[in-house]
Amino acid sequence: MAKKMLGDIARHISGQDEKMQTLVKNCKTLSCQAADVKETVEAEELRSGKKRKHVVDNWLGNVEMMENEVQKLESKRPSLLCGRIDELIGKIEELHEEGRFREGLLLDTCKTKAEPLLAPELTIQTSMRNIEEIFKYLMDDEVWCIGIHGIGGVGKTTLALHIYNRLIQDVGTFRYRPYWVTVSQENSIGKLQNEIAKNLGLNFSSEDDERKRAAKLSQTLTSENRVLILDDVWEKIALDKVGIPNKVNESKTWKLILTTRSLDVCRWIGCQAKYKVQPLNEEEAWKLFEEKLGQQTELSPEVRDIATSVAAKCAGLPLAVITMAGCMREVNDIQEWRNVLTKLEELTMGQEDMENEVYPILEFSYSRLKDEKLKLCFLYCALHPEDRNIKRDELIGYFISEGIIDEGKPWQAKFDEGHSMLNTLERSCLLENCDSDDGFRCVKMHDLMRDMALKITKAGHPRFMVIAGVGLKDIPAEREWTEDLDKVSLMGNVIKEIPGGHSPRCPRLSTLLLNENRLTKIADSFFDHMHALHVLDLSENRVLEKLPNSISDLENLTALKLQGCLSLTYVPPLGKLRALQELNLNCTGIKELPQGVDRLVNLKYLNMERMFQLERLPSGTLGKLSHLQHLKLSTLGPVEVQAKELKGLRELKEISVWLSDIDGFKQLVKYLQQFGGQLDKYFLAVLDRKSDAVFEGNARDINRVLILRNQYNVNGGGEDGILLPYDLQCLRIEGCSFARGSACLYDDVFPSLCGNATLLKECELISCKGIESIISSSTSSYSSTSFQCLEILSLNGLLDFVSLFKSKFLGFAVIAPSCGTFSNLKNLSVWCCPKIKSLFTSISLLLFPNLKEIDVRYCRQIKEIIETSFFPNRDIPLISLPKLKKISLVHLPELKSIFEGRMVCESIEKITVQKCPKLRRLPFSLPIVNGQLSAPATLEEISTRTIFLKVVDIEWWESLEWDHPDAKDALLPYLIS
């Protein structure tokens, strides 16, 4: 018997050893698969410019955790592990299958929905008729190229913008996907190729051969129904060299629309349809003029007669009408109107060319600006390249450096004044409001406005020389640098060198913009006769390695901008630049801080972010900069920043610091707690040294941000706990470990938040261990004001997450926090949380009256979105989410129910259900209209398709059970086909 028992034990141990060997072997195979996936996705990202799917990153993270788990098991006795080995073998098989990524690795950015472009409102009936006539050409299969031509200021771009927006809003009707490219006056083939490629989602950064680029563009443009809109074409374009096909593809149709001032351009390119945009007639011009004056401008009959004559002097050009009306808003005095009309008659007398006639009108509108500083702000915009969306904050930074804005004000007050000045220029219709691609507020100059501004600066004071964004290769000859120059802009060119002996005599020059070039060398003599220089911008010269020593003598310099000079390692001593107020060293290769920085006693702005090569920051340097108002630091290298150095900076209003040391992080947080009342804005991040920067800022009103990222143990309260500032607005935690069973925003983890997080707007938790819930409802320190401002809650890759709410005594999701806790939450997303089984109870759902979007994806165990087992006798109530617009449920294999009762969602716009095979019912309550069951009035679509599957999941749709026999027919028209 004993012998048999020993034999059984031996066989058991032998079997476990074999299983352990199988586990290790399978894990190595999985590791190789992960390496292949990572290499493939990185190569595809580089080649195509597209982004990887979130599920790819999550899978790679799961593989890494599995590797660590198997490595730990190898050191233990297999006989003691029993079922654990079998469990891991099963999980590895699941990961291996998931890693096949049959639906692809990358997001298909070309197929995502395009966003409308900001376009002036069309109020003139003629403009609407123009659009309809152009669309007739667009729908003609025999026409592939349409030219919209007419004089400047007549509204060609506005028409094209409305065509673009109409195409993207109703792509099903018009068949074409539009792409918008603005063409500058001197657009090179390479630059135009880059602009088109960017719109198509192609990446040409590693391809210099223009012929290969052209072939790729041509292939992509004709691969499906597309329309390319080229706005503001000045010169003839060799389409074949750019890669724009000059005919209709045999299998697909595609179109080209261009706007231009020249009919000759239309003829040369070969436009089959040429449409001339005519000026407005007098009736239309008056209607537009009256609308732009606004209701606040009350005109007497006498003034109205004069105003109609003023409108008529604008020659029917919408730009002139809008600008003139903008500068006459709230003017009711008849004498002033008469004076304006007289001056316009004098200015336009003898002008036979309507395009030339518009310039005096625009210049007159400029001259009516009462503040000389406003005029200078307007002219400053002309220093930028044509058609540039100019970020407001960057522009205001120049205004501050130039002294246009009152020097004595705090930093934030200066920016407030700058925004106010730009708003005034927008209201006067001299600048246009727009946004950058990354969402920042911008302004833009109409090309005629820019031409007018440059004419002003060539004829009088201030005197500008502007050769910006035109592909200039060499610095202008010395004879062009006249002694009366005030400002010079050579930004956005390809200048490589300022040669020795080049020493322009410009004793009045206050501004020199050489940013965004390819400078490798600047002669030491270049700055010898520029001692009045206030602003020197050399930023984004990525191969510039050193600055000339003559910069040390520019004692009147107030701003030195060097950001983005990646190769820059040498900056001469700066100690003599006592007037310097701004020093920007962001993204430079500097290893040692320039000598004399500690003597820059008037410095107000210091940016040292992303200085990853910096080896040393001398102790006490920062503390000597007593007037510093805005400080940005990155210390992911060996440099450390001591919080005590910041305590003497009593004028500090904004701070941004990245650290790699958790103890330094804690000290800085304590500093923020102690002195935070004086700060208008802060950004504080602690990252491990392998991390990249993770937060670039955004256009929303979030000024107080804290990020904690990677491989830190977040202990509970007490001496080792992490305090968070009371006035925090954005919290992001990624890759950290919490004590098992933690409620992340609970007083045992972040005690400073409980009862104090009244300003937190955004919270994001990514790939953190140990978090089982977000908050605990039983903590004594909770108040109804906690998290009342939270708008966005994003949970991604929380492997232990079970529920939003936790009660110490009654378990998960039974007792919710007090009303008001999440009363302003708008967006809730839960991704890749494998343990969660339900998201809400119908009682806790009452806490979310403003919820607009619910997004749940890749949670493999979730069975219900809204739990109903809570109710006795199946007495399930009707629940209401009055503001819910979007609900997305993706890849939830065990999901059986959204809600077993009925949901009233009066604002619902989009319902997305993908790969939820067990879901059999849509619980949305449908209204009755005229006695018939109808879809909600706001509903736009029901989607069951992934990006890569273009057909509806008919099998799932047909399997649904309906509460009412007519419900399926009511919703069917909204199912995307």
CATH number at residue 394: 1.10.10.10
Query: In the prediction, which pLDDT does 535 show?
Result: 96
920 pLDDT tier (thresholds 50, 70, 90): very high
Q: Is residue 758 part of a domain?
A: no
In a domain, 563, yes or no: no
What is the Cα 498 distance to its own chain's centre? 35
Burial class (CB in 10 A: 0-12, 13-18, 19+), 466: buried
**Model pLDDT, residue 19:** 78
Statement to judge: residues 251 and 291 lie in one domain: no
The larger pLDDT score, comparing residue 517 to residue 204, is at 517
Q: Which of 160-174, 468-482, 558-572, 585-599 has the lowest mean pLDDT?
A: 160-174
**Are 363 and 376 members of one domain?**
no
701 found inside a domain: no
Q: Is residue 497 part of a domain?
A: no
**DSSP-based three-state secondary structure for 738:** strand
Which of 12-16, 191-195, 455-459 comes out lowest in average pLDDT? 12-16
Mean pLDDT of the chain: 81
Q: Where are the beta strands (DSSP E) in 112-223?
A: 145-149, 177-182
Q: At residue 779, does pLDDT exceed 60?
A: no
Asked if residue 338 and residue 272 are part of one domain, the reply reads: no
My answer on whether 207 and 178 are in the same domain is yes
Cα dihedral: 638, 642, 648, 652 (round 10): 70
361: left (phi over 0), alpha (psi -120 to 50) or beta: alpha
Q: Yes or no: say if 434 and 423 are a contact pair by the CB < 8 Å rule.
A: no
100-114, 152-166, 469-483: segment of lowest average pLDDT: 100-114
Region 430-453 average pLDDT: 85
Are 159 and 236 in the same domain?
A: yes
Average pLDDT over residues 644-655: 81
Domain co-membership, 131 together with 228: yes
Structure-model confidence comparison of residues 579 and 123, the more confident one: 579
- Which of 63, 82, 107 is where one domain is finished? 107
| 917 found inside a domain | no
- Using an 8 Å Cβ cutoff, are 215 and 240 in contact? no
Q: State pTM to two decimals.
A: 0.70
- What's the domain range around 247? 112-276
Considering the domain architecture, whether residues 347 and 227 belong to the same structural domain is answered as: no
Domain final position from 276, 311, 329? 276
Model confidence at 870: pLDDT above 60: no
Do 165 and 260 belong to one domain? Answer: yes
If you average pLDDT over residues 816-839, what whole number do you get? 83
pLDDT of residue 639: 64
Give dist(CA 394, CA 400) in Å, integer. Answer: 10
Q: Are residues 330 and 388 in the same domain?
A: no
If one counts the domains in the chain, the total is 4
- Together in a domain, 329 and 435: no
**How confident is the model at residue 44, as a pLDDT?**
65
CA–CA distance, 695 with 709 (Å, rounded to integer): 11
User: Is the residue at 527 inside a domain?
Assistant: no
pLDDT category at 749 given cuts 50, 70, 90 is: low
Residue 883 placed within a domain: no
132 shares its domain with 68: no
Q: 81 near 135, Cβ under 8 Å? A: no
pLDDT computed for residue 754 by the predictor = 54
pLDDT bracket for residue 697 (50, 70, 90):
very low
Pairing assessment for the beta strands 838-841 and 864-867 based on DSSP bridges: parallel
Q: Is residue 24 part of a domain?
A: yes
- pLDDT band at residue 715 under the 50/70/90 scheme: low
The pLDDT value given to residue 414: 87
Per-residue burial over 29-44, b = 16 or more CB atoms within 10 Å of its CB, e = otherwise: ebeebbeebbeebeee
Domain CATH code at residue 158: 3.40.50.300
Residue with more model confidence, 348 or 209: 209
Q: pLDDT tens digit string along 474-492? A: 999 999 999 999 999 999 9
313 and 292 housed in the same domain: yes
Give the ranges where 588-678 is alpha helix by DSSP (H). Answer: 662-675
Query: Residue 678, class by beta-carbon neighbours within 10 Å (0-12 exposed, 13-18 middle, 19+ buried)?
Result: exposed
What mean pLDDT do residues 760-787 have?
A: 72
Query: What mean pLDDT comes out for the span 125-147?
Result: 78
Question: What pairs with residue 727 in β-bridges?
Answer: none
- Domain end, chosen from 320, 336, 367, is at 367
| 708: its two tokens | 């904690």
Q: Which of 573-582, 666-675, 735-744 has the highest mean pLDDT?
A: 573-582
pLDDT confidence of residue 75: 65
- Highest mean pLDDT range out of 432-436, 470-474, 784-788? 470-474
Mean pLDDT, to the nearest integer, of 291-299? 80
